[in-house]
């Protein structure tokens, strides 16, 4: 893809996606959403990609209020996943992005042959008919108006840049009171690089769709947890999801799960060694 806009560009999945697309030579407009207290990785992320001539950072409020010129073939990635995991969905202002962006610009999105790519937590499938029905209705309206829409439902994701809200991150830091975030899916996990490859590969296709991404490795989350000596209940919140017409995609593992954890460990340790007081 030649051009992309990433809403949530400094979040875990959003940033990894941004880095990957910049490496492919894409032009990126990164929309940063302030959540009050910034993730301690944010400034390092900004330094890592900020010097790239193909990257332009924009503030979410300013972007939302601006008159948008939607260029031909732009792909818009909207990262709900990270805000859900951090329990900060209010920062993305769901109603505002639906009314002031998706619906207001629906004609321009269709004429420019742009694509919408939504990144959701896997639990969103269970909540569709309850908390997130407006977003789902907006997606259907986009499709009815010939806008290509991809939606991806993601389990736990791990690797470098994983935020502190995740259990693996806490375990790597050696926190004895590490606790499972009630919003973290513990029945499957995917390494971040593999996740991004799958999302980009599917988003390149002309036809949209709804996809549940799962690891090709059975018990992936549990294997990582046991490697990190995390104690957990195997029956913890074992939810049965009715996925309906959502297509399941098995994501191949490019690295062994132990190697993925060690890559995350080295990244966290390196960051802390550089930022000691």
Residue 36 pLDDT:
67
Answer yes or no: is pLDDT of 77 > 70.
yes
CB distance 222 to 166 below 8 Å: no
Q: What is the CATH number of the domain that holds 77?
A: 3.40.50.720
Task: Look at 237 and 189; give whichever has higher pLDDT.
Answer: 189
- What is the total count of domains within the chain? 1
96-110, 118-132, 152-166, 216-230: which has the minimum mean pLDDT?
118-132
Instruction: Answer whether residue 207 is part of any domain.
Output: yes
Instruction: Answer whether residue 176 is part of any domain.
Output: no
pTM of the prediction?
A: 0.92
CB distance 52 to 45 below 8 Å: no
- Spatial neighbors of 186 by CB under 8 A, at least 6 apart, are 156, 167, 180, 221, 222, 225, 232, 236, 237
Q: Which domain holds residue 100?
A: 3-159+188-215+242-253
What average pLDDT does the segment 55-67 reach?
A: 91
Instruction: Answer whether residue 277 is part of any domain.
Output: no
Q: Residue 239: which pLDDT band, with cuts at 50, 70 and 90?
A: low
**Bridge partners, 31 (sequence order):** 7, 58
Instruction: Answer whether residue 209 is part of any domain.
Output: yes
Instruction: Answer whether residue 140 is part of any domain.
Output: yes
CB distance 28 to 7 below 8 Å: no
Instruction: Answer whether residue 221 is part of any domain.
Output: no
Provide φ and ψ at 213, rounded to 5°. Answer: -90, 130
Residue 17 pLDDT:
97
Model confidence pLDDT, tens digit, residues 115-155: 999 999 988 887 555 556 788 889 999 999 999 999 999 99
Among 92, 60, 66, which Cα is nearest to 79's? Answer: 92
State the Cα–Cα distance between residues 59 and 137, nearest whole angstrom.
27
Model confidence pLDDT, tens digit, residues 252-262: 999 999 999 99
Instruction: Answer whether residue 234 is part of any domain.
Output: no
Instruction: Answer whether residue 182 is part of any domain.
Output: no
Answer yes or no: is pLDDT of 161 > 70.
yes
């Amino acid at each position: 893809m030649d051009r992309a806009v990433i809403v949530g560009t400094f979040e875990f999945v959003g940033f990894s996606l941004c880095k990957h697309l910049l490496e492919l030579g894409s032009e990126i407009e990164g929309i940063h959403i302030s959540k009050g207290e910034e993730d301690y990785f944010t400034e390092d992320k900004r330094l890592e990609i900020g010097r790239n001539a193909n990257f332009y950072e924009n503030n979410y409020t300013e972007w939302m209020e601006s008159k948008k010129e939607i260029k031909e073939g732009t792909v818009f990635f909207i990262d709900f996943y990270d805000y859900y995991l951090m329990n900060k969905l209010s920062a993305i202002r769901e109603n505002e992005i639906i009314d002031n962006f998706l619906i207001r610009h629906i004609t321009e999105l269709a004429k420019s042959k742009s694509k919408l790519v939504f990144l959701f937590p896997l639990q969103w499938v269970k909540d569709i008919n309850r908390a997130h029905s407006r977003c789902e209705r907006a997606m259907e309206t986009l499709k009815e108006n010939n806008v290509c829409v991809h939606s991806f439902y993601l389990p736990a994701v791990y690797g470098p840049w994983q935020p502190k809200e995740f259990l693996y991150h806490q375990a790597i830091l050696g926190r004895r009171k590490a606790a499972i975030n009630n919003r973290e899916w513990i029945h499957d996990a995917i390494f971040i690089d593999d996740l991004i490859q799958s999302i980009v590969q599917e988003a390149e296709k002309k036809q949209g769709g709804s996809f549940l991404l799962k690891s090709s490795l059975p018990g992936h989350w549990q294997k990582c947890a046991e490697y990190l000596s995390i104690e957990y209940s195997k029956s913890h919140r074992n939810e049965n999801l009715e996925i309906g017409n959502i297509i399941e995609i098995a994501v191949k593992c490019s690295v062994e799960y132990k190697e993925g954890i060690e890559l995350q460990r080295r990244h966290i340790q390196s960051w802390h060694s550089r930022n000691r007081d």
